Structure 1
């Protein structure tokens, strides 16, 4: 479990599938209101407090993103709960310190994200992707001192998905960053056809 602060009131938590497995939670369980998931959330908030000093007080907006081959990203924003007229609101006298007011948004992304420390590693993986005829697509971003390559598996032969992941993992590492975060906080270097464009403009 990795936790990082995005702003004063927002944190991002990256859960690997091993993190979920250790707690007896399946990916599909994150969509359900069950004790194990509540315990996991409490554990995440405790770790966020001890590592970052993040107080999970007041209403919390929780966004959960499922990522292929990497795990799940949970973004927690403090003080962003939207209360509708027909929603029940807890009275202060009924408040419990261990119960969070949450508005949960669940999304599943099929985009594969890998981070690379050096531009040479990006060029190397793109050359291999092209040589292996796995893909010439992709988007390239710069974020937090790393290069992030985003690939859409729907544009890749499904029978070769494992080969794609193995190749990417040889040069980089899976990242918990989502495209939404990259577009907001990162820099777009190549918006489409990144593998093709890099192989076209750089000699190896």
Structure 2
């Protein structure tokens, strides 16, 4: 974990996957803003105050997070005094953390894409990264459209897939992880429109120039 002070009111925090493993948080939980990831974030802010004197108590915070392809997480924190008395979304609170495996904790994951361009950019990135053998990750891909957005559903995933970290980082580059994936999957089955089943990578790759 590294801290960089960009200005008096802005810092950059750089985490890697080892930092998550040291805190018993898997990639998916961290990216979906779970209670454990919130607890870790509060501990990180305490560490920032101790190491570089960046105090966040009684400040309004703006958080920007980015996952890189090599597995690092870049978090930019900007503080400002609130215009009025509000309860900050990042106010410290006591959370009991459950110890968990350093892997994905679900067999189903869903990512939301804002538009078709983001999906094709994701496919192109996979090609450029030379990530192959996606059938070894899962054979159960499904691409839906629902309320003008696109959703990639992946069932029965292989958590030991060789390129899983790179694949998930690529997903995060263009998509957003959906919480309560099994419940949302039921909603897609009922109200969404299925576009591609299983061979989504092969089907969409044909449309790339």
Smaller-chain TM-score bracket: 0.3 to 0.5
TM-score under structure 1 length normalisation: 0.46
Higher relative contact order (CA 8 A, sep 6+): 2
